A and B are shown apart, each in its own frame.
Chain A
Amino acid sequence: DVVMTQSPLSLSVTLGQPASISCRSSQSLVYSGDGNTYLNWFQQRPGQSPRRLTYKVSNRDSGVPDRFSGSGSGTDFTLKISRVEAEDVGIYYCMQGTNWPYTFGQGTKLEIK
């Protein structure tokens, strides 16, 4: 199975400051069938189900603020929040959808300092 490793596992950020979460996979996430890299980022606010933020590394979902951005390639990926807002509190997960079984990172808990 592909192991997804996130860091840090917790993040305490001042409002308006940037935040960055790293996600590394144990093997390349380039899908041989179509050349796409199926790396997603999800946000899970307290008491809610996960919500997708980005797909195929860097494509932002509809309705997701542009302060969220995804980047990376191969085995190394990053989610950046340019200016953290109070509504960003929650747990962030990366997920690979290139190989079965799909696997998730451990989650990164974001809190406001």
Chain B
Amino acid sequence: EVQLVESGGDLVQPGRSLRLSCAASGFTFDAYAMHWVRQAPGKGLEWVSGISWISDSRGYADSVKGRFTISRDNAKNSLYLQMDSLRPEDTAFYYCVKSPARIASAGAVDYWGRGTLVIVSS
């Protein structure tokens, strides 16, 4: 059974940093691209970032480009999102999401974690 467990969400002040982690199990982690998708409370879904199976390709939404960095450690079956210069509009549930493909730029997504809540507020 595919399991994706996010952690690292917290209340943080604007301008500060936070690192999210996702522990994956139940599938061959290093064979698939991975993504982060967020959802502000009561709002819709927004793709944030994606990374290919061997980290040779990474993509970001314009809203986070230059501030967020996606990475993965295939040896640890883990996905990360380093979030710098956080803004109040970054407040959301952040979901770790698996791709059915090796590349991140096409193929969409399949399995989702339960999410971790990031609140950016003074």
Contact = CB atoms under 8 A, between A and B. Distances in A.
Interface of A: 31, 33, 38-40, 42, 49-52, 55, 61, 93, 95-107
Nearest to A49: B112
Interface of B: 35, 44-47, 50, 59-62, 95, 100, 104-115
15 contacts: A31-B106, A40-B109, A49-B113, A51-B112, A52-B111, A52-B112, A97-B108, A97-B109, A99-B105, A99-B106, A100-B104, A100-B105, A101-B47, A103-B47, A104-B44
Main secondary structure of the interface of B (DSSP, over half): loop
Given A38-B107, A95-B108, A104-B47, 4 more contacts: A31-B106, A55-B110, A93-B45, A100-B104
Contacts of B111: 52
B112 A97 contact: no
Contacts of B104: 100
Q: Is the interface of A mostly helix, strand, loop or mixed?
A: loop
Contact of B114 (A31, A49, A95, A97): A49
The 5 closest A-B pairs by CB, nearest first: A97-B108, A102-B47, A38-B108, A104-B45, A49-B112
Contacts of A61: 110
Nearest to A97: B108
A50 B45 contact: yes
B100 A102 contact: no
Contacts of B108: 38-40, 55, 95-98, 102
